[in-house]
Amino acid sequence: MKESLKVAALVACVAISLPLHAARRRVVAPTAGVLSIEFVDVEPLGSSLVAAGSDAWIDLQMVGQQTGSTGKTVRVRRTFGLRIVRTGGVSSGTATVTAKLEARDGRSSVRIDGKLLTGAPIVVSPRAAVGAMNTHTLEVEVPDSAAPGPLAVSISWEVTTL
């Protein structure tokens, strides 16, 4: 009888310790650092990109129809770099970058790499490498009928890990 109790106690101890041990092996190490976006000027000197950390402003300066143009819109293109950085110095892995119009005044249309921006997020980079810079093209199209003056357009960017 004592032998069967010892065996039962041994089986109970093993049965209890196995799930706990297995649970410890399944723990995933947390990702090191938080992802953020850094804008990089890639145009020649005199460009109009002003980068300040994770914010950037593009000054289109004075834009108008070219002399002799019969076009009904004015298009302005600016190339910029976008780098995903991770706090903590780890620069590996991939992430998805999305963008959407946060605010607009209705006088222009805005595209990133040919994709029209709206209030709904669009994927700009589906698998961007963390730490590497990717170039993108911002295109602003203003109809000739738009009233002159500064444009009020704001783009919201988001980066998420895969």
Instruction: Say whether pLDDT at 75 is over 80.
Output: yes
1-55 confidence digits (pLDDT tens): 444 433 333 333 333 332 323 333 333 444 557 888 988 888 765 556 777 666 7
pLDDT score recorded for residue 86: 87
Q: What CATH number does domain 35-161 carry, 3.40.1110, 3.40.50, 3.30.70, 2.60.40?
A: 2.60.40
- The structure's pTM equals 0.69
pLDDT band of residue 147 (cuts 50, 70, 90) is: confident
Mean pLDDT of 64-68: 59
88-136 confidence digits (pLDDT tens): 767 788 999 999 998 888 888 999 999 999 999 999 999 999 999 999 9
Residue 8's alpha-carbon distances to 2, 4, 17, 18, in angstroms, are 10, 6, 14, 16
pLDDT score recorded for residue 61: 66
Higher pLDDT, 82 or 55: 82
Q: What residue type is 146 in one-letter code?
A: A
Q: Name residues whose C-beta falls within 8 Å of residue 31's C-beta, 6 or more positions apart in sequence.
A: 93, 161
Place of tokens 């101890």: 13
HEC sequence for the chain = CHHHHHHHHHHHHHHHHHHHHHHHHCCCCCCCCCEEEEEEECCCCCCCEEEECCEEEECCCCCCCCCCCCCCEEEEEEEEEEEEEECCCCCCCEEEEEEEEEECCCCCEEEECCEECCCCCEEEEEEEECCCEEEEEEEEEEECCCCCCCCCCEEEEEEEEC
